[in-house]
Structure 1
Amino acid sequence: MNNKPHDQSLIFEKIRSLEHVQSLSKHEQLVQGVLDAIDAGNLNANDVLPSVNNMVKELGYARETIVKAYKELIERGVIASKNRKAYFVISENTKQQQKVALLMYAFDTFQETLYQHLKENLGSDTQVDLYFHHNNPEVFEAIFNRIVGHYGLYIVAPIPSERIKELLISIPPFKLLIIDRYINLGTDYSYIVQEFEDSSYQIFNELKNKLSNYKEIIFFFRKNTAEPQEIVKSFRKFLKKTGLNGKIETNYKPGTIKKHIVYFTIHNPELYAILKDVMDKNWELGKDLAVLAHNDDVIKEILAGGITTFSTDFKRMGQLAATFIKKREKVQVIIPTVLYPRKSL
């Protein structure tokens, strides 16, 4: 750090010049005043900022307000602190966006679609750091504790638990966006999510006539995974209402493929194992047996002549998340689930 002298009174002037702007809080005046001082050349890289005590003395603002403003400037990557006492400029790029932490389940193809469209709609000047919790609460908490306080915005695909909820509500609503899975954090928090129970029940009903052409529907579902429990509820409800023959099994065992069965899986590796057995038997999808999958992607569109899926629009989810980052306006959206009928069913 370079302690070269500069006129700190110019910084106070920039801050005071914003006091008449009623739309800005004191904390926002401090942040913008420092940014304006950098843009005007009153502050350069390595210059030391006024201490918190000096800010209190000169401006009369509360200590908490000044600390909050400095913390935001750190999150933006504009300043840094040394031993939490001295603050200094590390970047003169005041136009850069805040750093964003994106915490997701795993990098599946459909979540990759979300990420790609998030990045495309933000531009290259926004830093998005990607983390994965793999639906493991301990991993989630470890990552959360490591990254909290280091980003200006957090985009999180949550795990439904009270402990995770406690962690998330420690982040102010304007700094947090819930994506993919809904978790109730209160009316002030933003979310862009999908809904599973009602939407999947509607899809099963939409497919009723096709499903009734087969002897049995086997749904492979693993407990204690990221796979949505709500789909199990809707599947059981559908079987009870229609009287169709079906069951839930934990996983598909390679080599056990049978004709006149509908195989429904959420797990991509399982889907590929089923399709390999179909290919080895030289059977025809949609005729000898059927396959249904969850979460659409380009691969399922072309694989084996096309796999029937139902899915939310992860491209749209990524686009809306990018808009939230840019505008920072509260958003509460449930993206519809859509059926994509193809050859496999």
Structure 2
Amino acid sequence: MKKSSEAAYALLFARIKKLESLQTLSKHECIVQGVLDAIDANELKVHDSLPSVNMLIKELGFARETFVKAYRDLIAHGIVESKNRKGYFVISNNTSMQQKVAVVLYAYDTFQDTLVSELKANISDDIVVDLFFHHNNTETFEDIFNRINGRYTVYVVAPIENERSKELLLSISPTKLLLIDRFMDLGDDYSFVAQEFEQSALKVFSDLKPKLERYDEIVYFFRKNTAEPDALKSAFMSFLKDSNLNGRIEKKYKQGTLEKGKVYFTIHNPELYLMLKEVVQKKWVLGRDLAILAHNDDVIKEIICGGITTFSTDFARMGELAALFINTRYIIQEFVPTVLYDRQSV
């Protein structure tokens, strides 16, 4: 151990013992406050190591669980991080202990609102949550990153699938970053709560096959270079090949081009609503004259035009898991299941 570390540890032990002697704080609170006071006094600086749990037990005699809980609280507030086999380190001098969470998503939509609402409902009211949207644009993503990096205790980010975004995200400590909605492999130490697209979509198409067989063709409106996952396109093409059903991909819907006897699939809500407008104007009946399939369920799709068949992940569950990460900083690595909502439109 370096002499500078020995001196810093001695000062820290003295602070904790003094706080304990006042008998106004619990042992766990003495440890947390001792570390915060040492940072405020510049006795502990960013990147400095903290005493190991075994060292604290030997010096102060508290139970192991007490030290673990104290360090866990400091981690949860973005003051300290744990590095595998290296120990605990100071990563912030924001000793006010107020948590600020940056949530960076693709774009605002009703299902994203569900995610954020559930996240907020499951964390303390005094935690600040700021929203940002990158619209699947790398320059926008980098601009947001440069503005927020180092200013928040937790980052909840929907990643863009390219190397530049990955490079930026890897600069954030694993204890402070949760990938949301989309999966990106940053290594075993990083947390994610994401959708799985290809196999889930393939299962949905297969489950709907008895209904889809009633129609002449399936048309999927797929836009390249957007937030639309390529995995959905792969699942669609695999399904057509395996099922021997007729289908094709078009870039986008053009008003007035819907035809009877066909299934139309889109994941873009504005496009969906324009198609529904055309169906209503032509006085056609969904599920009889033609079919429409959508992605990402919400209450509007549940009630409009008798109900739109959708498949969707559970965004409320995503929000709950994001809150769990914010509250505990435990590693979470979970794919949230996709659910088919089979309604009248197919």
Q: What letter matches 1:184 in structure 2? A: D
What aligned pairs does 1:82-97 form with structure 2 within 5 A after superposition?
A: 96=98
Residues 76 and 99, structure 1, Cα contact 8 Å, conserved in 2: no
Residues 40 and 95, structure 2, Cα contact 8 Å, conserved in 1: no
Q: CA deviation at 1:31?
A: 5.9
Q: Which residue of 1 aligns with 2:267?
A: 266
Q: CA deviation at 1:187?
A: 0.6
Helix, strand or coil at the partner of 1:100 = strand
Q: CA deviation at 1:62?
A: 7.0
Supply the distance in 2 between the matched residues of 1:225 and 1:131 (Cα, whole angstroms): 17
User: 1:310-330: CA deviations, max 9, x gaps?
Assistant: 000000000111011111111
User: 1:204-242: CA deviations, max 9, x gaps?
Assistant: 000011001001100001000001110000100111111
Per the alignment, do residues 36 and 241 of structure 1 end up closer, same or farther by CA in structure 2, a change over 3 Å counting? same
Q: What letter matches 1:149 in structure 2? A: G
Q: What letter matches 2:329 in structure 1? A: R
User: 1:25-69: CA deviations, max 9, x gaps?
Assistant: xxx9986325579xxxxxxxxxx943x3xx2xxxxx6773189x9
Q: Which residue of 2 aligns with 1:152?
A: 153
Residues 114 and 315, structure 2, Cα contact 8 Å, conserved in 1: yes
Per the alignment, do residues 66 and 294 of structure 1 end up closer, same or farther by CA in structure 2, a change over 3 Å counting? same
Query: Is there any run of 5+ residues in structure 2 with no aligned partner, and where?
Result: 1-10, 21-28, 51-70, 80-91
Helix, strand or coil at the partner of 1:259 = coil
What aligned pairs does 1:294-305 form with structure 2 within 5 A after superposition?
A: 294-305=295-306
Count how many residue pairs are aligned between Structure 1 and Structure 2: 294
Q: Which residue of 2 aligns with 1:118?
A: 119
Q: Which residue of 2 aligns with 1:339?
A: 340
Per the alignment, do residues 200 and 89 of structure 1 end up closer, same or farther by CA in structure 2, a change over 3 Å counting? closer
Q: Which residue of 1 aligns with 2:283?
A: 282
Q: Which residue of 1 aligns with 2:254?
A: 253
Q: CA deviation at 1:256?
A: 1.1
Supply the distance in 2 between the matched residues of 1:269 and 1:309 (Cα, whole angstroms): 15
Q: Which residue of 2 aligns with 1:321?
A: 322
Q: Which residue of 1 aligns with 2:129?
A: 128
- For the aligned residue pairs, the C-alpha RMSD in angstroms reads 3.0
Q: What letter matches 1:168 in structure 2? A: L
Q: Which residue of 2 aligns with 1:244?
A: 245
Aligned-residue identity in percent:
58
User: 1:52-103: CA deviations, max 9, x gaps?
Assistant: 3xx2xxxxx6773189x9xx89x879xxxxxxxxx99995xx5x4x111111
Per the alignment, do residues 89 and 263 of structure 1 end up closer, same or farther by CA in structure 2, a change over 3 Å counting? closer
Residues 78 and 154, structure 2, Cα contact 8 Å, conserved in 1: no
Q: CA deviation at 1:18?
A: 8.8
Residues 265 and 271, structure 1, Cα contact 8 Å, conserved in 2: yes
Residues 45 and 93, structure 2, Cα contact 8 Å, conserved in 1: no
Per the alignment, do residues 89 and 316 of structure 1 end up closer, same or farther by CA in structure 2, a change over 3 Å counting? closer
Q: Which residue of 1 aligns with 2:142?
A: 141
Helix, strand or coil at the partner of 1:160 = coil
Q: CA deviation at 1:126?
A: 1.2
Supply the distance in 2 between the matched residues of 1:305 and 1:285 (Cα, whole angstroms): 8
Supply the distance in 2 between the matched residues of 1:90 and 1:64 (Cα, whole angstroms): 15
Helix, strand or coil at the partner of 1:117 = helix
Per the alignment, do residues 281 and 62 of structure 1 end up closer, same or farther by CA in structure 2, a change over 3 Å counting? closer
Q: CA deviation at 1:13?
A: 4.0
Q: What letter matches 2:308 in structure 1? A: I
Per the alignment, do residues 199 and 125 of structure 1 end up closer, same or farther by CA in structure 2, a change over 3 Å counting? same
Q: Which residue of 1 aligns with 2:217?
A: 216
Helix, strand or coil at the partner of 2:127 = coil
Residues 295 and 312, structure 1, Cα contact 8 Å, conserved in 2: yes
Helix, strand or coil at the partner of 2:263 = strand
Q: Which residue of 1 aligns with 2:171?
A: 170
Residues 285 and 344, structure 1, Cα contact 8 Å, conserved in 2: yes
Per the alignment, do residues 212 and 302 of structure 1 end up closer, same or farther by CA in structure 2, a change over 3 Å counting? same
Q: CA deviation at 1:123?
A: 3.2
Helix, strand or coil at the partner of 1:192 = strand
Q: What letter matches 1:313 in structure 2? A: D
Per the alignment, do residues 88 and 99 of structure 1 end up closer, same or farther by CA in structure 2, a change over 3 Å counting? closer
Please give the TM-score of this superposition, normalised by the length of structure 2. Answer: 0.78
Supply the distance in 2 between the matched residues of 1:158 and 1:116 (Cα, whole angstroms): 20
Q: Which residue of 2 aligns with 1:40?
A: none
Residues 30 and 66, structure 1, Cα contact 8 Å, conserved in 2: no
Query: Is there any run of 5+ residues in structure 1 with no aligned partner, and where?
Result: 1-9, 20-27, 38-47, 56-60, 78-86
Q: Which residue of 2 aligns with 1:23?
A: none
Aligned mate of 2:47, from 64, 74, 78: 64
Please give the TM-score of this superposition, normalised by the length of structure 1. Answer: 0.78
Supply the distance in 1 between the matched residues of 2:170 and 2:220 (Cα, whole angstroms): 35
Q: What letter matches 1:283 in structure 2? A: W
User: 1:93-148: CA deviations, max 9, x gaps?
Assistant: x5x4x111111001111111100100111131211111110000010011101111
Q: CA deviation at 1:12?
A: 7.8
Q: Which residue of 2 aligns with 1:190?
A: 191
Q: CA deviation at 1:336?
A: 0.6
